[in-house]
């Protein structure tokens, strides 16, 4: 697959929801596994909460999902969900403690910059320009919405993603350590990176 054989689309078609949940979990399960796991429940939660109007998707020539880029706005985030969603999937107690930990990790919206809320590329499509194409589409989306910059957060253990973002013009704006939460989420700090559009 080459970069030219994919197309970037607005939104997430219903037929690809299950595939998108698996892709998102493959990308972020290492970080969120102790909170949103086990995998079957995490996939159920993600399928329930993913907002089709808060993402761009990369589709290959055969119509398969090979990547997605979620984003956050004042109206919500791609895969955030609510405490009611957590309770519906994990029960009253399971939903409550999961909601608390996720809120501690962060749930902000950046009204000054367009906020990327997760970039995923399928394993079979990595290294073929899908991530770069999605990032450029996010920059174009930010520009179309009137934002002066795009912001994203990348954890300190994800050096591959950070290298991609730096190649695409993002620079570290600040770094925030997460303290004791590192024992749950498996990383020590998150780097906030910004690119002017």
Q: Which domains does the chain have, with CATH numbers?
A: 3-196 (3.40.630.30)
Q: Are 125 and 157 in contact (CB under 8 A)?
A: no
Quote the pLDDT of residue 110: 73
71-to-12, 119, 124 alpha-carbon distances in Å: 12, 9, 23
Kindly report, residue by residue over 91-107, the tens digit of the pLDDT. 999 999 999 998 887 76
CA 173/CA 195 separation, integer angstroms = 10
* Region 22-51 average pLDDT: 95
CA 15/CA 27 separation, integer angstroms = 20
Q: Is the pLDDT of residue 2 over 50?
A: no
pTM for this predicted structure: 0.90
Q: Is the pLDDT of residue 58 over 70?
A: yes
Q: What is the mean pLDDT of the chain?
A: 92
Quote the pLDDT of residue 131: 95
pLDDT-based confidence at residue 184 (cuts at 50, 70, 90): confident
Quote the pLDDT of residue 4: 56
Quote the pLDDT of residue 107: 64
Kindly report, residue by residue over 152-173, the tens digit of the pLDDT. 999 999 999 999 999 999 999 9
* Region 2-24 average pLDDT: 89
Q: Is the pLDDT of residue 44 over 90?
A: yes
Quote the pLDDT of residue 144: 96
CA 93/CA 51 separation, integer angstroms = 25
Quote the pLDDT of residue 179: 87
CA 9/CA 154 separation, integer angstroms = 24
Identify the CA nearest to 172 among candidates 140, 189, 139, 195.
Answer: 195
In this predicted model, which residue has the larger pLDDT, 173 or 3? 173
Cβ–Cβ contacts within 10 Å for residue 173, how many? Answer: 15
């Amino acid at each position: 697959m080459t970069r030219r054989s994919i197309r970037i689309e607005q939104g997430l078609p219903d037929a690809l929801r299950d595939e998108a949940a698996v892709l998102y979990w493959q990308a972020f399960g290492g970080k969120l596994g102790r909170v949103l796991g086990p995998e079957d429940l995490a996939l159920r939660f993600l399928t329930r909460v993913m907002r089709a109007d808060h993402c761009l998707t990369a589709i290959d020539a055969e119509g398969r999902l090979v990547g997605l880029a979620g984003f956050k706005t004042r109206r919500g985030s791609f895969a955030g969900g609510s405490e009611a969603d957590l309770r519906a999937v994990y029960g009253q107690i399971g939903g409550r403690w999961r909601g608390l930990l996720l809120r501690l990790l962060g749930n902000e919206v950046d009204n000054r910059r367009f906020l990327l809320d997760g970039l995923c590329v399928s394993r079979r499509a990595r290294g073929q320009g899908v991530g770069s194409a999605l990032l450029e589409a996010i920059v174009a989306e930010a520009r179309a919405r009137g934002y002066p910059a795009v912001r994203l957060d990348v954890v300190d253990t994800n050096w591959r993603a950070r290298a991609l973002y730096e190649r695409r013009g993002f620079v570290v704006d600040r770094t925030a350590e997460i303290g004791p939460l590192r024992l749950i989420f498996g990383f020590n700090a998150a780097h906030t990176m910004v690119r002017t559009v």
